[in-house]
Amino acid sequence: MAIPKKGQLGIFMIVSVVILLLVGWALYQMSLKTTENIKKELPSQMVLGETVAVQQFVTACLEQTTTDALINFGLVGGKTGYFKDFLTYDSSYKVPYYFKTNTFDDSASIVPGSVFAPPKADVESILMSYIDAHLKECTDSFKNVKGLRVEEGSPKSTVQVNEKDVSVKLNYTLVITQVDKKTNLDEFTLKILSRLNTMLLISHNITSFAKEQEDIVYWEYLTDVTRMCEPVGNPRAPAADWCFNITAHAERQNTIIYRIVDPQSLVFNEPYFFQFAAQVRVK
């Protein structure tokens, strides 16, 4: 891979970050509020009296929980304990470090920085852990089921981050009893259009460049990211929405926050964004 042109971090660090920080916080709060509103509209508030309604309800909960998992991974690393080091804004809003320098001055003894960007298999495990831990918050023990008795097992999901989607297979044994008739439901599937796979590749490239030279922002590569344009799902979408957007802004502790936005990967009708922190060495 050709090495992109280099831009000096010292110039970059003078950019004001107050507005960007407020925007990031506002987006985070908006996402949480949207999630709560959607939950209130789920069929858990309805009377479920048929097996097919139970199946539709679980599928709706799976979609809701998977969407929550994607939002939380993109915003704060997933809330599953995978990441150990964050740039912290408050107790609920912490951006995980994908790269950290081990040298904080321009001394001769430079120790190479550490990369924490997760491989795709680990991201799939993060999403699985979130789904398995939170699905029952949505199904809520099927308390609103009328005329049926539902016995449930423990949910176990399998997640695949594919080129243009995130697919989920959920093993979740339900025994539904209606009078003297029993019905078993075991497997539920879901596919959400998403270019998370490409976002992960972008994050790995950025952290690889950071390790090569820790005091440089590779602006040319960031520009290349905005030229990654391909229709996903809806070929009639405006051409401007085919492309990624990416921002990089300076924060405290010699940290850069990278934020990748995909107008085509929609969550609750809003573009999906994925962010991570990189701590760099300042000359």
Q: Is the dihedral of CA 223, 224, 225, 229 positive or negative?
A: positive
Q: How far apart are CA 50 and CA 69, in angstroms?
A: 29
Rg for the chain, CA atoms, rounded: 22
Are 195 and 267 spatial neighbours (Cβ–Cβ below 8 Å)?
no
Cα first-last separation, the chain: 26
Q: How far apart are CA 58 and CA 60, in angstroms?
A: 5
pLDDT tens for the 283 residues of the chain, in order = 344 444 444 434 433 333 444 445 555 554 554 444 444 455 544 455 688 889 999 999 999 999 999 999 999 999 889 999 999 998 889 999 999 987 655 555 556 789 999 999 999 999 999 999 999 999 999 987 778 899 999 999 999 999 999 999 999 999 999 888 899 999 999 999 999 999 999 999 999 998 888 777 888 999 999 999 888 876 677 777 789 999 999 999 889 999 999 998 888 888 999 999 999 876 6
